[in-house]
Chains A and B, each alone.
Chain A
Amino acid sequence: MKKRIKWICLFLLFPMIVLYFSCKSGTQNQTSAGLSQEKQARVDQADLEKKLYRCPMHPNYTSDKPGSCPICGMKLVPVEKEEKATPPAVKKKTMYRSTMNPNEISDKPGKDSMGMQMVPFEVEEGGEVSEVGGRIAVKISPERQQLIGVKSEKLRIQPIHKLIRAVGRIDYAEPNISLVTLKFEGWVEDLFVNSTGRFVRKGDRLLDIYSPDLVAAQQEYLLAMKANDLPGGSGLSVLKSARERLKLWNISDEQVENLERTGEVKKTLMLYAPISGFVIEKEVLQGQKIMPGENLFKIADLSRVWVSGEIYEYELPFIKPGQEANVSLSYFPGETFSGKITYVYPYLNPETRTVKVRIEMQNPGFKLKPEMYANLEVQVDYGSRLAIPADAVIDAGEKKIAFVDRGDGYLEPREVKLGVKGEGIYEVLAGVAEGEKVVTSANFLIDSESSLKAALKQMTQGQSVEGKRENQHD
């Protein structure tokens, strides 16, 4: 009987021992079988509480239990335990701020741009940061950063300027155009400048003209002169008026003197160019009868030209006379000409819905030809401000986020408030300080990592992360 009990006890013990050992071996040998997911899915109870699992295909799905993804049925993989992303040690630093312009911050005491003493204030470097727009700080080792091509750039105060682009046209400078007309009737005897586009210098002989009126006037003048020479001197007033007449008819003093000297009535009269420039219009032909007031030539001086640009209504507030403008033409690729806005027209062209601006420019070598199309770039200077590269800013609709590189692979998301936009840079109003480094490339991956980490954190800490990234689509 006793023996039997002994045996029964033994039989009872045996399966328990087997069970015990198999349980043990079951947990120990996990590393050997199956693909990584498979093997990692089976973890013992103790690890269960710490680990989080994520579907490798749907990173949005995280669970605190191993199993398979509800969406695709793939095995969940444990999320790699990473060192907690803690910022480097907290340092206090004294910075100085302008009392007039709070954006003007410096790390050295001194006077601000307006000449006022800057006041010191303390900033914390480091410290715990919370989530920003569903993103939290991440730690990415320098090797991995290099792998994905992370680059960062130090923020500094730099001149910000905005470029306003406009189309424009080269125009004659209005003050530099002259017309050649006659005030008397006549016939063209000799035409010296007989083609349009010819360059004339001031005083060049343009044409000879025969005019009966002019002959009569000359004769009258000679008569008056003679009468003046007579004793009694009564002819002086007549002579004066005759001379006046010739003068009003634009007969040059030289020609009048010539007439006086020779006493000979010239049949024809010479006409000279009033300014240097190009003949842009020529209305006169050899032998033509000319009526008084008729335009003979239009001469434009092209050593200076105007560029008129068309500015759209919404950009008008940025435009002021005196701004630098770069003009580029498709005719001279790679070359830019610069000038200044001299005038903003006070009215809007109803047809094009634009406002004209005028830029006066020198035209050395007459390269700029009127009626050429030009592209204008007007630089609007905002002065020196704290600037962040546009590449560093992730614009997710509501919030604008930049990742600050705090060193040691620690990247921290910050919401930034942006001011004006310059070329490839933004003005920073708040969020990052001068001297901090922001990530300028591979932002997408860092952003994803950060969002995923935030989702994980939410899993571990309950619903602490509000305003998750997924919910931002409004």
Chain B
Amino acid sequence: MIEKIIEFSAKNKYIVILLALAAIVAAIYCIQNIPLDAIPDLSDTQVIIYSRWDRSPDIIEDQVTYPITTAMLGAPKVKAIRGYSDFGFSYVYVIFKDGTDIYWARSRTLEYLSKILPRLPEGVKTEIGPDATSVGWVYQYALVDKTGKNDLAELRSFQDWYLRYWLQGVPGVAEVASIGGFQKQYQINVSPTALAAFKIPLMKVVEAIREGNNDVGGRLVEFTGTEYMVRARGYAKSVSDLENIVIGNDMKGTPVLVKNVANVALGPEIRRGVADLDGEGDTVGGIVVMRFGENALNVINRVKEKIKDIQPSLPKGAEIVTTYDRSELIKRSIDTLKHQLIEEMIVVSFVILIFLWHFPSAIIPILTIPIAVFLAFIPLFGMKLTSNVMSLSGMAISIGVLVDGAIVEVENAYKKLQLWQAGGRKGDFHEVRLNALKEVGPSVFFSLLVIAVAFLPVFTLVDQEGRLFKPLAYSKNLAMAIAALLAITLDPAMRMLFTRMDYHHYRPRWLSQITNTITVGKYYPEEKHPISKILFKLYEPACRFVLKYRKGTIIAAVLLMITTVPAYLKLGSEFMPPLNEGTILYMPTTLPGISVTETQRLLQTMDKIFKETPEVARVFGKAGRAETSTDPAPFSMMETTVVLKPESEWRKVKRWYSGLPGIMQRPFRFIWRDRVSWEEIVNELDQKMRFPGVSNAWTMPIKARIDMLTTGVRTPIGIKVFGADFKEIENIGQQLERVMKDIRGTRSIFAERVSGGYFVDFFIKRSEIARYGLSVKDVEMVIMSAIGGEPVTTTVEGRERYTVNVRYGREWRDDLDKLRRVLVPTMAGAQIPLDELADIKLSFGPSMIKDENGMITGYVYVDITGRDVGGYVNEAKKIVQEKIHLPAGYSLQWSGQYENMIRVKQRLKTVIPLTIFIIFLLLFMNTKSPVKASIVMLAVPFSLVGAVWFLLILKFNISIAVWVGMIALMGLDAETGVFMLLFLDLSYYDQVRQGRMKTFDDLKEAIVHGAVKRIRPKMMTVTAMFMGLVPIMWAMGTGSDMMKRIAAPMIGGVFTSFVLELLVYPPIYAIWKWRYEMKQGTVDVSRLPIPQLGKH
């Protein structure tokens, strides 16, 4: 079947080549249109229900979050519902099962939400968050005015009412969130003394203002055949409009206006987020949030285009300053990878060219690489996968392997043609060549199959790991598949193109020489081949040596394998290898409860220090929330995006070669960089940023956003304590801490503490208010509006809308004593100070309340070490049951990564043996001998030696990326192992056929012949693989870190497995053949059936 395809392709070479060209054109289209992103979107399918209401966390929890979470219970395909109540905000994250369509999920959420919406308290603004996550924060800007013509309030208004909508209209943008500056608001600062004097209750002022701001229509009237639309213009549009609203009359009939009892002014709305640019103080910022699954690069480009368009429409003096732009990163990382791919292709091409020393043969694998890579984009595009660091890495790590098929084919054809030439050119060389191609076709397919099968475990990864590595697995396997397809179609077709075997001489001679070398080339026999000669010289003595000390060699190899165990234990571990994004995200955290003013001051001081560092180009600090549901950060968590200057502008560091003239320094720079490094800058900044009470986190924007996605418990085990009262929950958590600390295997246990909110509590004295004929509501209304200031109404001024807020003037509520004096009007007209109606106390409470599936939840995080998770959980459950008595209504739930880990473990328990079994089966099918298959499988431990040690030398941590590299390594091992053994077998049976296999020396000679004489093809494939990966290791650019983690085990592994195969296979083979097949020379081996060998 495969042979037929090869034959067909070879015979119809032009058709195949044309089809290939067409496919390349299609691939180019796909490459241009494929969505680009730095890394795959790792977020769950989640819908955020976001409510705003200026209330304390416990009130929000009771009145908003709890009703919403319970309403969402029972929605289909929901995995978890998590609620967070913070001051003024409620977030309910509805997390759907993997693979749920986001829009389907959103409409289900809406459906279930509609039940509860009418029952939420008045004033709660509930909405569904955008179809985006904080990972979609692709572009951020600041709107600044250096000329001072516009103040912060005006800039913020412009941002809120114009700029935001303009940018939100750009396709692919889900939301544009504002941050910082001052949100304009009409503030009616009521003087309680004036109210008391006029005997007007505060509520009456509120009412009057609410009624003093409206436009209505009086339908139509008809005059003289024309119809007129009737309007009543009553919108308050200015401070004076509001000032002149009538509240009532005094006793003598003089009207009392708002201005008589209050001072009306434009002021800033209560601030829940501040921003700072370059340490210059408050600024207005905007965050462009990209829609889920969009092409980040295109979206950013469109946004930038739009910004350019609207430049003339900005208020005079204002300008838009980019503070974060992910496209840089995307471009940089894609460039790095592209660069990498090209570099690898060139390196591999050179390897092939050098090893074959024959241009017409080399050109085929060389062309195969880019074509396979190109064509792989077609299915990627079709599957709607993005092109990102991961998927390109997948291609990068497979380049060395991609050409294997082509190399084997070409090498075989070369060998056969050389033999044909040496054998006196019997028969048509076209036929010889075609046969050579057909011979290896199935093995090529087989070898690629092994690699693909070996990579299957990657597809079993779930959740974030799955989302992160599946693109890589897809692109790698697709590239492999396409390479396999090309190996049996395009490669034979192209090989047939070069038809001539003889030099064609013409003038000028140099031209004829070049064309002849390129089109015909010279065929050397193996022994005379320039590369082989060197390899023989090196390898033959080594091979003879190991054959002499067979057992010693094997023992040494085993010992070497054993050394990997301590080495492996020394490796650290991490979830995701770092992707150096080139932008620093500094996240200082303080304890909750910090005030806006304090935060703002701190932020500015910090930014100033940043700006003083010469490498820093721009600093944009953010504290508190941007106006988006994708930003749940409280004030205590600041985020400062530090954009660095291009590396070429960083400070120079003195190196040993610095004294040399400029040009001479260049080569050294590659090895010893002469500029400060990223780490040095971060360390330096970290030293400068040691603020008391603040802990520093240094991360990078995308990484931070991914880390902050609410993913629940991250430790292997989490115990969720459910109940109604957070104090009791905390108590239970601490009991768990005590009880579980001593269980064997506990690494750490931490019960979450509710922390950090400061409260002023008014305990209303019911007996007192009864005396004055007041209701609780009356008192509360006053607390709400006098102290808090309710937004009473909204003005409509063209496109802009501002809230009108009524509250006591600042001087009447800025201290506890003054709060005591807030007046509550009674029915009788008296105004009673709050102190007489309520007890006022300061207290300390939770600043954020967590709610899961409708119950208040506290997490206890347990990390374990050196124990099987399942066993640990069972033991812990038993102990907890014995020692902890839960009050009624409280329950524990054991969850955490351990469920996942157990699931993954179980899956891997079946998948890995299955993979090994399939590989073994394939090997067995190929070699027809279980012993040989086992010997080939030895390559796996051989490669582990190199993989682990190489990781240790590079100081890489174990991460899933490393595991993926290891898994990829498994396939390579099997492949190289097959090669090694194959040539030994070929040589052995060759001798057997010639009847020369009698003594141990015969065997030894056969082995030396098999191992040494055919070292070139082995060396070539391995070198291609190896050299295809090595450029990754010295890559410096963005995104290379991720690739390095995957490539490192492969490089180390391929190296040691190859070296060990070269050194250990011959002795093993010798022992096996001598002891078991030749029975120490007593059996006539030539009588034994000679198995059909692979076609090499």
A-B contact pairs, 8 of them (CB 8 A): A11-B559, A144-B690, A145-B692, A353-B836, A396-B844, A397-B844, A448-B594, A452-B591
Which positions 687-731 of chain B face chain A at CB distance < 8 Å?
690-699, 707-708, 711, 713-715, 718, 727, 730
What residues of B have a CB within 8 angstroms of the CB of A42 in the complex? 572, 955, 957
- Known contacts A70-B750, A144-B690, A448-B693; A470/B831 CB under 8 A: no
Which positions 80-128 of chain B face chain A at CB distance < 8 Å?
none
Interface stretch (choices B147-155, B419-427, B678-686, B794-802): B678-686
B602 touches A148 (CB 8 A): yes
B950 CB to closest chain A CB (Å) equals 11
What residues of A have a CB within 8 angstroms of the CB of B953 in the complex? 22, 25
Which positions 810-825 of chain B face chain A at CB distance < 8 Å?
815, 817, 820-821
The prevalent SS among residues of B at the interface is mixed
- Known contacts A68-B714, A71-B714, A421-B817; A444/B693 CB under 8 A: yes
- Known contacts A71-B861, A474-B727; A167/B197 CB under 8 A: yes
- Residue from A54, A351, A473 within 8 A of B845 (CB atoms): A473
Q: Is B949 an interface residue (CB 8 A)?
A: yes
A70 touches B845 (CB 8 A): no
What residues of A have a CB within 8 angstroms of the CB of B551 in the complex? 4
Which positions 42-80 of chain A face chain B at CB distance < 8 Å?
42, 54-61, 63, 65, 67-75, 77, 80
B683 touches A36 (CB 8 A): yes
A70 to B831, CA, bound (A): 53
A238 to B551, CA, bound (A): 165
What residues of B have a CB within 8 angstroms of the CB of A152 in the complex? none
Which positions 419-474 of chain A face chain B at CB distance < 8 Å?
421, 442, 444-452, 469-474
- Residue from B562, B727, B833 within 8 A of A473 (CB atoms): B727
A165 touches B679 (CB 8 A): no
A18 to B952, CA, bound (A): 12
What residues of A have a CB within 8 angstroms of the CB of B730 in the complex? 471
Which positions 826-871 of chain B face chain A at CB distance < 8 Å?
828-833, 835-836, 841-846, 859, 861-863
- Residue from B193, B595, B682 within 8 A of A444 (CB atoms): B595
B733 CB to closest chain A CB (Å) equals 11
Known contacts A167-B193, A312-B835, A375-B193; 8 further A-B pairs (Cβ under 8 A): A34-B679, A35-B679, A42-B957, A54-B695, A57-B695, A352-B830, A469-B844, A470-B755
B713 touches A147 (CB 8 A): no
- Residue from B605, B683, B836 within 8 A of A312 (CB atoms): B836
What residues of B have a CB within 8 angstroms of the CB of A396 in the complex? 758, 842, 844
A22 to B953, CA, bound (A): 7
A143 CB to closest chain B CB (Å) equals 10
The prevalent SS among residues of A at the interface is mixed
Q: Is B566 an interface residue (CB 8 A)?
A: yes
Which positions 729-752 of chain B face chain A at CB distance < 8 Å?
730, 747-748, 750, 752
- Residue from B678, B693, B696, B955 within 8 A of A26 (CB atoms): B955
Q: Which residues of A contact B (CB under 8 A)?
A: 4, 7-8, 11-12, 14-16, 18-19, 22-23, 25-26, 29-30, 32-39, 41-42, 54-61, 63, 65, 67-75, 77, 80, 138, 140, 144-145, 147-149, 165, 167, 169, 310, 312-314, 351-353, 373, 375, 390, 395-398, 421, 442, 444-452, 469-474
- Known contacts A167-B196, A397-B841, A444-B594; A23/B570 CB under 8 A: yes
- Residue from B686, B695, B821, B832 within 8 A of A353 (CB atoms): B832
A15 touches B559 (CB 8 A): yes
B555 touches A448 (CB 8 A): no
Would you list the 4 A-B pairs with minimal beta carbon distance, nearest first?
A70-B861, A56-B697, A448-B693, A11-B556
A445 touches B693 (CB 8 A): yes
A11 touches B555 (CB 8 A): yes
A309 to B799, CA, bound (A): 48
A144 to B715, CA, bound (A): 36
Give the bracket for the number of chain B residues in contact with chain A: 35 or more
B253 CB to closest chain A CB (Å) equals 16
A57 to B634, CA, bound (A): 12
Q: Is B560 an interface residue (CB 8 A)?
A: yes
B863 touches A451 (CB 8 A): no
- Known contacts A15-B559, A396-B844, A446-B692; A60/B708 CB under 8 A: no
A144 touches B570 (CB 8 A): no
A254 to B836, CA, bound (A): 62
A41 touches B845 (CB 8 A): no
A144 to B605, CA, bound (A): 11
A14 touches B556 (CB 8 A): yes
Tell me the total A-B contact number using a CB cutoff of 8 A.
233
What residues of A have a CB within 8 angstroms of the CB of B708 in the complex? 72
A15 to B602, CA, bound (A): 54
Which positions 511-540 of chain B face chain A at CB distance < 8 Å?
none
What residues of B have a CB within 8 angstroms of the CB of A474 in the complex? 727, 843
Which positions 953-967 of chain B face chain A at CB distance < 8 Å?
953-955, 957
B815 CB to closest chain A CB (Å) equals 8
B589 touches A59 (CB 8 A): yes
- Known contacts A67-B747, A147-B691; A314/B836 CB under 8 A: yes
Q: Which residues of B contact A (CB under 8 A)?
A: 193-194, 196-197, 549, 551-553, 555-556, 559-560, 562-563, 566-567, 570, 572, 574-575, 578, 587, 589-591, 593-595, 598, 601-602, 605, 637, 678-679, 682-683, 686, 690-699, 707-708, 711, 713-715, 718, 727, 730, 747-748, 750, 752-759, 772, 815, 817, 820-821, 828-833, 835-836, 841-846, 859, 861-863, 949, 952-955, 957
B552 touches A8 (CB 8 A): yes
- Residue from A15, A39, A75, A147 within 8 A of B605 (CB atoms): A147
A42 to B842, CA, bound (A): 44
A32 to B954, CA, bound (A): 10
- Residue from A26, A147, A165, A473 within 8 A of B754 (CB atoms): A473
B156 CB to closest chain A CB (Å) equals 26
A470 touches B754 (CB 8 A): yes
A445 touches B828 (CB 8 A): no
- Considering only CB atoms, which chain A residue lies closest to B772 in the complex? A353
What residues of A have a CB within 8 angstroms of the CB of B575 in the complex? 68, 73
A68 to B714, CA, bound (A): 9
What residues of A have a CB within 8 angstroms of the CB of B820 in the complex? 314
A68 CB to closest chain B CB (Å) equals 7
- Residue from B563, B696, B727 within 8 A of A18 (CB atoms): B563
B812 CB to closest chain A CB (Å) equals 9
What residues of A have a CB within 8 angstroms of the CB of B955 in the complex? 26, 29-30, 33-34, 42
A77 to B560, CA, bound (A): 35
A60 touches B753 (CB 8 A): yes
- Residue from A4, A57, A395, A447 within 8 A of B552 (CB atoms): A4
A444 touches B696 (CB 8 A): no
B587 touches A57 (CB 8 A): yes
A11 to B563, CA, bound (A): 12
B574 touches A38 (CB 8 A): yes
What residues of A have a CB within 8 angstroms of the CB of B755 in the complex? 60, 469-470
- Considering only CB atoms, which chain B residue lies closest to A399 in the complex? B844
What residues of A have a CB within 8 angstroms of the CB of B679 in the complex? 32-36, 39
What residues of B have a CB within 8 angstroms of the CB of A138 in the complex? 692
- Known contacts A59-B589, A140-B692; A373/B193 CB under 8 A: yes
Q: Which of A32, A34, A68 has the most CB of B within 10 A?
A: A34
- Considering only CB atoms, which chain B residue lies closest to A451 in the complex? B591
What residues of B have a CB within 8 angstroms of the CB of A148 in the complex? 602, 605, 691-692
A314 touches B861 (CB 8 A): no
A201 to B691, CA, bound (A): 74
A471 to B844, CA, bound (A): 9
Q: Which of B553, B718, B955 has the most CB of A within 10 A?
A: B955
What residues of B have a CB within 8 angstroms of the CB of A4 in the complex? 549, 551-552
A373 to B817, CA, bound (A): 22
- Known contacts A65-B747, A144-B692, A352-B830; A37/B698 CB under 8 A: yes
- Considering only CB atoms, which chain A residue lies closest to B689 in the complex? A147
B198 CB to closest chain A CB (Å) equals 9
What residues of A have a CB within 8 angstroms of the CB of B595 in the complex? 444
A425 CB to closest chain B CB (Å) equals 12
